[in-house]
Amino acid sequence: MGINGARPYSHVFAGANASRLKLYFKRRSPLFASFHGRITVNQNTRTSIETCWIVTDGKVGMVNQCRGLAEILEVEPFSKVIDQRAPWRWLPPVITPSVLGVVTSDSSPLVPPWPDLLIASGRKSVAPARAIRRASRGTTFCVQIQNPGFAPAAFDLVVTPQHDGLSGPNVMATTGSLHGLTPRVLDAARARFADMVAPLPRPLLAVLLGGDNAVYNMTEDYGRQLAAQLRGLVDDHGWGLAITPSRRTPDHARRAITSALQGASALIWDETGDNPYLGFLAHADAVLVTCDSVNMVCEATATGKPVHVAHLEGGSEKFRRFHANMETRGITRPFAGTIETWDYVPLDDTALVAAEIRRRIAIARTGN
């Protein structure tokens, strides 16, 4: 089981429905155009994945991407959380030896039997993933999510966003990041958090707050501006607000928003109990998300609802390419104080990547 115990898309990958696979992806994903000619399924070929590990350093964003992919592949993963010994933890993957000895003794054990599928993400996972692929003598199919900072040929498949600019015969470039937000997951979250959002008026805006990171800064001025804009949506346009902050949201922004929304039709999660993030997405009529997290933006656009992006101070070339691509394709729009409505095809990169993995595993097992 994956997120909320859901097992979505089982009908897509079942052998009896293999003939529908191309039609499904043609309708669901804009990326299909670059891969549809190569995705074929032989119903007599063994493509089942019995065992799967996900290897990360435990960061939530990385774990969620790996788990989301495993979810679509219909496999229950074993989570392996690792760290690296000094000096390797400070050095780039390109000069880190591909041996399991670089992993600390308190990391999750990485010992045989090796899994059918290894899904890894993050700089610290690169060396152990390469070591496992080599130790398994090719029986473990190794998928590296995000740019590994190492030659892609060292892996069976590298999955990285288009804005990273990485290319190669075993590189699959996605629009954004992977995730596990499927219709079934959202339906479960909608039921789970129905009582929490019931008092809020419609239309309902889910507000996903990020904050400071290595390239973005949520300044005090912007925090006050955003707070005033949110109040305006309530007073002038009748929106209800369901707001969830993150650990990166600065205290000054929390205070400004809380103060501005006193007495308003707004719910601000107090970070006690279960995070209603998915429930807010499921119930919302539109979404406002800060620009500092590709993961949050991609999860928001998986709903198919209008997604406005609040742009903070700072940024990087990679982030600018990502947001420009999303806007050019008509998926997101910048936030300027009002909420608009529009339609787009929801992002479904994860399911397309899952199909490509199955295709490549079938080739590896049959030799053609």
Name the 3-class secondary structure at 117. strand
Inside any domain, residue 344? no
φ and ψ at 175, to 5 degrees?
-65, -45
pLDDT tens for the 368 residues of the chain, in order: 333 333 333 333 344 333 333 443 444 444 433 443 344 444 334 568 999 999 999 998 899 899 999 999 999 999 999 999 999 999 999 999 989 999 999 999 999 999 999 999 999 999 999 999 999 998 999 999 999 999 999 999 999 999 888 999 999 999 989 988 888 899 999 999 999 999 999 999 999 999 999 999 999 999 999 999 999 999 999 999 999 999 999 999 999 999 999 999 999 999 999 999 999 999 999 999 999 999 999 999 999 999 999 999 999 999 999 999 999 999 999 999 999 999 999 888 999 999 999 999 998 888 76
* Residue 85: inside a domain: yes
Query: Domain for residue 341, yes or no?
Result: no
103 and 31, same structural domain?
yes
Asked whether residue 279 is assigned to any structural domain, the reply reads yes
Residue 268 is inside which H or E element, if any? strand 266-268
Is 38:151 a contact under the CB 8 Å cutoff? no
Q: How many residues does the chain have?
A: 368
* 289 SS3 class: strand
Answer for the pair 58, 125: CB distance below 8 angstroms, yes or no.
Answer: no
Mark whether 128 and 189 lie in a shared domain: no
Check whether residue 308 and residue 279 sit in a common domain. Answer: yes
Q: Yes or no: say if 143 and 77 are a contact pair by the CB < 8 Å rule.
A: no
Same domain, 325 and 278: yes
- Is 156 in the same domain as 190? no
Do 101 and 243 share a domain, yes or no? no
Same domain, 86 and 188: no
Please measure the distance between the N-terminal and C-terminal CA atoms of the chain and give it in whole angstroms: 32
> What is the Cα 327 distance to its own chain's centre?
18
Instruction: Give the type of residue at 149.
Output: G
Q: Are residues 258 and 326 in the same domain?
A: yes
- Tokens 């429930």 belong to residue: 279
User: What's the pTM value of the predicted model, to 2 decimals?
Assistant: 0.79
Whether 38 maps to a domain, the answer reads yes
Residues 15 and 158 occupy one common structural domain: yes
Q: How many domains does the chain have?
A: 2
Residues 265 and 125 grouped into a single domain: no
Instruction: Note the pLDDT of residue 368.
Output: 64
Kindly write down the DSSP assignment for every residue of 66-115, as one continuous string: HHHHHHHTT--PEEEE--B-TTGGGS-GGGS-SSGGGB-TTSPP--SSPP
CB-side exposure of 8: number of CA atoms within 13 Å? 23
Q: How far apart are CA 319 and CA 288, in angstroms?
A: 17
CA 323 – CA 176 distance, rounded (Å): 10
Domain span at residue 247 reads: 183-334
| 259 and 307 both lie in a single domain | yes
Show Cβ contacts of residue 279 under 8 Å, excluding neighbours closer than 6 positions. Answer: 189, 190, 192, 193, 194, 196, 197
Q: What is the pLDDT of residue 46?
A: 52
The span from the CA of 139 to the CA of 109, in Å, is 19
Q: Please give the C-alpha separations between residue 92 and each of 42, 107, 137, 303, in angstroms, as whole numbers.
A: 40, 19, 25, 36
Contacts of 120 (CB under 8 A, 6+ apart): 54, 55, 56, 66, 126, 128, 129, 142, 143, 144, 145
Does residue 193 share a domain with residue 152? no
241, part of any domain: yes
**What pLDDT is recorded for position 348?**
85
CATH number at residue 22: 3.40.50
Q: How many CA atoms lie within 13 A of 254 on its CB side?
A: 15
Confidence (pLDDT) at 43: 39
Instruction: Check residue 163 and give its pLDDT.
Output: 87
Residue 242 in any domain: the answer is yes
Report d(CA 55, CA 65) in Å as an integer: 11
Distance CA 73, CA 351 (A): 8
| CA-to-CA dists, residue 167 to 230, 303, 356, 359, angstroms | 41, 29, 16, 19
Q: CB of 143 within 8 A of CB of 120?
A: yes
Read off the CATH number of the domain in which 291 is found. 3.40.50.2000
In this structure, the number of other CB atoms found within 10 A of the CB of residue 220 comes to 12
